[in-house]
Amino acid sequence: METDLAAALDTAWHLLTRGAADRRSPMHTPVVASVTADGAPDARVMVLRAADRATARLRFHTDARSPKCAALDGRPVSVLGYHPGEAVQVRLAGTARIVTDGAEVDAIWSNSTPFARRCYMVEAAPGTPRATAGSGLPTDVEGRKPELFELVPARANFALVMIELTAIDWLHLAQGGHRRAVFSASDGWRGQWRVP
């Protein structure tokens, strides 16, 4: 059971970093929540691609045509992850930014597998109505790995969701008594214990 603030913050970042690297980790797919332009709550599960403690940033990938880009870009967001094996919940607050161009985006795109890039070949924007169930991929690509030349046009649909964290709320659930700590960028991530 954590009784040291620095160790609690270390645990939160360890779970996030491991979650980004390990697709089997429960922290690999946190919930990202925001508020739409008309004030309605909106949440979605997203794949955590990177967690960088030095910059206090998280990275996710998305289709640049997705309505969530407008809902997230430049706005406050909340990220929620839970690791049942560790009995730790991590709630994160920050500001999202959508990035579609630049060397970093190009490098991440180039290092992605053809199957990962295939997602961005869908012919219509995510959320577009369809008459029948389907992936939205071109029929000649459905069920196969595309050739690299086929993926070139899909790059225009690829975007990063970068979240600059401003707060971390760490909660450890334990039979002997829960522990909760809150950390803020504004106080240099020193942290404060809170009643769970």
Say how many domains are in the chain.
Answer: 1
pLDDT at residue 2, as a whole number: 63
Residue 1 has pLDDT above 90, yes or no: no
> What's the whole-number mean pLDDT along residues 38-43?
90
Interval 67-102: pLDDT, tens: 999 889 999 999 999 999 999 999 999 999 999 999
Report residue 37: phi and psi, to 5°: -60, -30
Domain span at 64? 5-194
Tell me the CATH number at 189: 2.30.110.10
Interval 49-70: pLDDT, tens: 999 999 999 999 999 999 999 8
182 vs 22, 39, 166, 177, CA distance in Å? 25, 26, 11, 17
The structure's pTM equals 0.94
Instruction: Tell me if 42 sits within 8 A of 68, measured CB to CB.
Output: yes
Residue with tokens 């169930």: 133
Interval 178-194: pLDDT, tens: 999 999 999 999 999 99
